[in-house]
Chain A
Amino acid sequence: MVVAIFGTTISPYLMFWQSSQEVEEIEQNGDARPLKRRPRQAPREFRRIRIDTFTGMAVSNIVALAIMMSTAATLHAQGKTDITTAADAAEALRPIAGDLAFALFSLGIIGTGLLSLPVLAGSAAYAFGESQGWKCGLENKPWEAVGFYCVITAATILGIGIEFSSLDPIKALFWSAVINGFVAVPVMAAMMWVGSRRDQMGRFTLAPLTLTLGWATTAIMAAAAIAMLLF
Chain B
Amino acid sequence: MNAGDVIAPKLPRSRISQFPKRLRKAALFEQLGPGLVTGAADDDPSGIATYSQAGAQFGFDMLWTMILTYPLMTALQLVSAQIGRVTGCGLAKNMGDVFPKPLVLVVIGLLFIANTINIGANLAAMGSAAELVIGWGGHIFTVAFALVSLTLQLFISYERYDPRSPRVRRRRVRSKSRLERGGCGVGHTQDRSHLRQLDHGRRYLRHDDQPVPDVLAK
Contacts and interface: CB of A to CB of B under 8 A. Distances in A.
B157 A140 contact: yes
Interface in A10-63: 10-61, 63
B80 A124 contact: no
Nearest to A118: B153
B101 interface: yes
Contacts of B86: 34-36, 201-202, 204
A5 B38 contact: no
B6 to A, nearest CB: 6
A117 B149 contact: yes
A160 B72 CA distance: 33
Bin the interface of chain A by size.
35 or more
Given A21-B38, A176-B46, A206 B79 contact: yes
Interface residues of chain B: helix, strand, loop or mixed (majority): helix
Contact of A30 (B40, B76, B172, B186): B172
A174 B59 CA distance: 22
Contacts of B28: 51
A65 B212 contact: no
Contacts of A167: 120
A49 B44 contact: no
A51 B2 contact: no
Contacts of A200: 83, 87, 94, 97-98
Contacts, number: 595
B56 interface: yes
Nearest to B60: A72
A210 B52 contact: no
Interface in A80-131: 80-92, 102-103, 106-110, 112-124, 126-131
B17 interface: no
Q: Looking at chain A's contact residues, is the secondary structure mostly helix, strand, loop, or mixed? A: helix
B11 interface: no
Contact of A67 (B51, B126, B145, B218): B51
A39 B205 contact: yes
A68 B57 CA distance: 10
Given A85-B125, A159-B123, A180-B114, A19 B84 contact: yes
Contacts of B210: 39-40
B38 to A, nearest CB: 5
Contact of B182 (A33, A90, A91, A129): A33
B163 interface: no
Given A14-B38, A27-B183, A127 B1 contact: no
Contacts of A129: 92
Given A16-B90, A183-B107, A72 B73 contact: no
Given A56-B32, A56-B40, A81-B56, A45 B85 contact: yes
B119 interface: yes
Nearest to A15: B80
B146 A160 contact: yes
Given A126-B92, A131-B104, A32 B80 contact: no
B48 A37 contact: no
A161 B120 CA distance: 7
Interface string B78-120: 1111111111111111111111010011011011111111111
Nearest to B205: A39
A64 B69 CA distance: 11
B77 interface: yes
Given A10-B76, A134-B186, A163-B121, 10 more contacts: A34-B88, A39-B210, A76-B59, A81-B57, A108-B48, A115-B40, A120-B44, A179-B114, A190-B95, A213-B75
Closest 3 CB pairs of A and B: A34-B88, A162-B120, A22-B84
26 contacts: A4-B50, A4-B54, A6-B69, A17-B34, A18-B35, A20-B90, A34-B87, A39-B210, A46-B216, A85-B124, A117-B145, A118-B153, A120-B41, A121-B119, A128-B108, A130-B184, A133-B186, A135-B178, A140-B157, A159-B120, A159-B122, A169-B121, A194-B98, A206-B218, A214-B75, A214-B79
